[in-house]
Structure 1
Amino acid sequence: MGSLFIPNKSRATGTWTRLGDEVLPQSGMCVTCLDGCPGYCEIGKSAYRGPEAIYPVPFGEITAGAQKDFPVDFSHFNITGSITGHHQKEYDLFTNACIETKMGRDGGLKLRIPIICTGLGSTKIAQTHFESLGSGAAICGTGIVLGENVAAMDDDSTITDGNVTNSPELVRRFKSFKDNQKDGYGFIAIQANQEDWRLGVLPYSLEKLGADAVELKWGQGAKNIGGEVKLTSIEKAIRLKKLGYVVIPDPEDALTQQAFKNGTIKGFERHTRICAIPDAMSRAFDGFMNNVQHLRDAGAKYVFLKTGSYRPSDLARAIKFASWARIDVLTIDGSGGGTGMSPWRMMNEWGLPTVYIAALTYEYCKRLADRGEYVPDIVLAGGLVSEDHIYKSFALLSPFIKAVGMSRSTICAAMVGNTIGKAVAEGKVPKPVSEYGSSTDQIFYYSQKVKDRFGNIPTGAIGMYSYYQRLATGLRQLMAGSRRWSVNDITRDDIFTLTREATDITGITYIMDYDKEQAERVLDA
């Protein structure tokens, strides 16, 4: 394993060690801990800021991803290439490779590019950039999932008899996608955890906002606890506590209020309750089936489930329950990806990394399929950022996968687009961006094309569109090189491993064993 992640210090938490890299491998403490050091490391920061040292900083301005170098990741696989294959004229150019997919039991959710931006919930970073992300998904013809706790965090929401009856923030987010959708491609789904379920967010979104799909949430890859955000308003902290959220420290406590007033406490953490599925299969099954039926009765045409990188038996439970309930789409989020806010050490030290969970997912789905049981469409997420990640994900999970989840990288593209747009407006275009010009039409490769077809949209959406077009072009190139002209034709034989360990984990053939018999036949001909 590499040394990317060193315990007790990280730029993510704004900490470092006095002796640099001269630290103990397991603890990350300096070889000599000096009396008189003001506390640069995470232990030191914890001594004066307590639980605040758990989280990446600065909150609301960053997303964070796990830094741990897992023993096996996507770099341990290479994509095959071949000189043999189709010779029809229509396949002369890689641009003819088809990367469109369809999702759902009836194939009614169409994607121009097999990407979903998953679970953009109540974090400040998602709220700030959702107009770009929603309109960007629409013009790209891809999927976007509106994440948990948004309605409750909306200060202008109306809650009547315990149920949401109006949420301007949800309206704004849905509108950003629906107003820009073209030709029926792409979709917007609404996700709910137990707090959203209690507040009736999904029925409201189906009836009033026109949600294309709804998603039950069991978890995510970045953490194994409920959703959490930072709050800087004590009034909001008190309001959310009264709605049933866990708020730390207690905003109604007199000592806490005084500490907030004098500036010792800068803010609060809002937590959702931890999701729990009953151990007894019969009870868990009944509850899950009732929830799914409730959503379908409320008008849901497509029902999704999202699960995190829990233990293998929980992954099996998610797949089996999705099969029983005939869930349309199951999103499986591996460890190693990103988040708007999660505990830093938890992101690095818990759960099944993406390659490992993909291998188990294939094994479990194949077991059901071989018995003739229903298998939902699979979406794989967890630190995916590039076209080769998309290709390798489709290969690892063929034929069950229909798309990949990319949230943190998508947010990155939107943030950069918005930053450049703001810089252009202020006449302060930074290097190296200024090398391409001083206007948006000069700087953004696809600016004029997007404006001509979709009108005036945020520069963040142009950034997202540009990034997705790069992914689409790169994916087509990789497909053409391996003579796969539809993304749905990619198989497990289209990649090989570079290490025996990767083969042991995934069952993909080791490079030195790949094509061995075929090569011998050629040589002996």
Structure 2
Amino acid sequence: MSYSPDLSSGFNGTRLRTPNHASCSGMCSDCVQECPALCEIGLSAIRGTEAAYPANPNGSQFASEKKYPIDFSDFNINGRVFGARGLPEDADIAHPLSVDLSCSFGIAHPVAQKMPLILPAVAKLNWQDYYAGAAIAGVTAVIGEAVVNKDSGAEFSNGRLTYSPLIKDMISRFRVYDRGYGDIVLQANYDDVSFGVLEYAIEKLGVKSVELKLGQAAKGIQAVSKTMSYEEATAIKAKGRMVYPDPASPEIQKMLSSGFKPVFRAMGRLPMYREESL
């Protein structure tokens, strides 16, 4: 049995022409010359490595399209009809509203929670209600890595973050509804550490919980986003981020003067941590 994915995805805006697919390759079973669609093969042939990155990263959240051989419907929750666990065997006490799901995580400085849940990282879309809801529910929520890259009001001095109204607003959104349970956690990737995002958040905003990312999105790829203009690429590079190709290089300057507009990509650095540095 094959679980190979089809060569189309909402992730990169591709689609297949026909519902009949070859299971071993994910291609249409009849690939035609006059195809009006754009599958991942066509996209990669035209745009190269762009096929490996999302089409709309700033306006979307992505979930896995992988077809797993099991499903949540394969699991059953078997209730008990005799006795009780965790509560006295008393019908007036052992009822749903008496259930206690509280827990904690952490060793040196445990964080108490009302439920055993940690909401995954978000740094875009409706984060306001996301963080507020976590605080109201008494669970932990995570601010995604590289959030400072989305902050148009961020200020830097000598390559270090000195002010970020977006991070401040995100933390405040949780703190307004904080009931003493859960926490707001700030992720930091390699660039964030280099920019001093953690120091700023801890010293200026009182952040107590952080998460070091040992790889962008927990995997060994670099975060890559397309920039729409030379001016934008230059501004991003001035903040200390990597831009490819280098907008200041003589070759690019020559291309620009001749009317050619190259495609710039801002890239996150891969971590080069060592055990002793951690």
**Scaled by the length of structure 2, what TM-score is found?**
0.81
Question: Could you tell me how far apart the structure 1 residues matched to 2:74 and 2:197 are?
Answer: 42
Look up the match of 1:40: 38
Residue of 173, 191, 197 corresponding to 2:193: 197
In structure 2, do the counterparts of structure 1 residues 199 and 145 end up closer, same or farther at CA, with 3 Å as the change threshold?
Answer: same
Matched to 1:104, the amino acid is G
Look up the match of 1:119: 121
Give the secondary structure class of the aligned counterpart of 2:212: strand
> What's the offset of the Cα at 1:181?
1.6
Q: How many residues in Structure 1 have an aligned counterpart in Structure 2? A: 269
Matched to 1:172, the amino acid is D
Whose helix fraction is larger, Structure 1's or Structure 2's? 1
Look up the match of 1:131: 128
Give the secondary structure class of the aligned counterpart of 1:287: coil
Matched to 1:83, the amino acid is V
Question: Could you tell me how far apart the structure 1 residues matched to 2:74 and 2:272 are?
Answer: 35
In structure 2, do the counterparts of structure 1 residues 101 and 94 end up closer, same or farther at CA, with 3 Å as the change threshold?
Answer: same
Give the secondary structure class of the aligned counterpart of 1:69: coil
Give the secondary structure class of the aligned counterpart of 1:60: coil
Write out aligned runs for 1:39-438 (5 A): 39-72=37-70, 75-86=73-84, 87-89=89-91, 91-105=93-107, 108-121=110-123, 126=124, 128-182=125-179, 184-219=180-215, 223-232=219-228, 234-252=230-248, 253-254=252-253, 255=255, 258=259, 260=261, 265=263, 268-278=264-274, 284=275, 286-288=276-278
- Say if 2:8 is the partner of 1:9: yes
* Identical aligned residues as a percent: 33
In structure 2, do the counterparts of structure 1 residues 195 and 270 end up closer, same or farther at CA, with 3 Å as the change threshold?
Answer: same
Q: Please, what is the CA RMSD of the aligned residues?
A: 3.0
> What's the offset of the Cα at 1:208?
0.6
In structure 2, do the counterparts of structure 1 residues 205 and 235 end up closer, same or farther at CA, with 3 Å as the change threshold?
Answer: same
Encode CA deviations 1:242-291: one digit per residue, 9 max, x unaligned.
4443334544434479555xxx85xx54321122455xxxxx2x222xxx
Matched to 2:6, the amino acid is P
Look up the match of 1:439: none
Question: Could you tell me how far apart the structure 2 residues matched to 1:187 and 1:32 are?
Answer: 53
Residue 146 of structure 1 contacts residue 190 of structure 1 at CA under 8 Å; is this kept in 2?
Answer: yes
Question: Could you tell me how far apart the structure 1 residues matched to 2:93 and 2:109 are?
Answer: 26
Matched to 2:200, the amino acid is Y
Give the secondary structure class of the aligned counterpart of 2:201: helix
Give the secondary structure class of the aligned counterpart of 2:269: coil
In structure 2, do the counterparts of structure 1 residues 224 and 76 end up closer, same or farther at CA, with 3 Å as the change threshold?
Answer: farther
Question: Could you tell me how far apart the structure 2 residues matched to 1:155 and 1:38 are?
Answer: 39
Residue of 27, 30, 55 corresponding to 1:29: 27
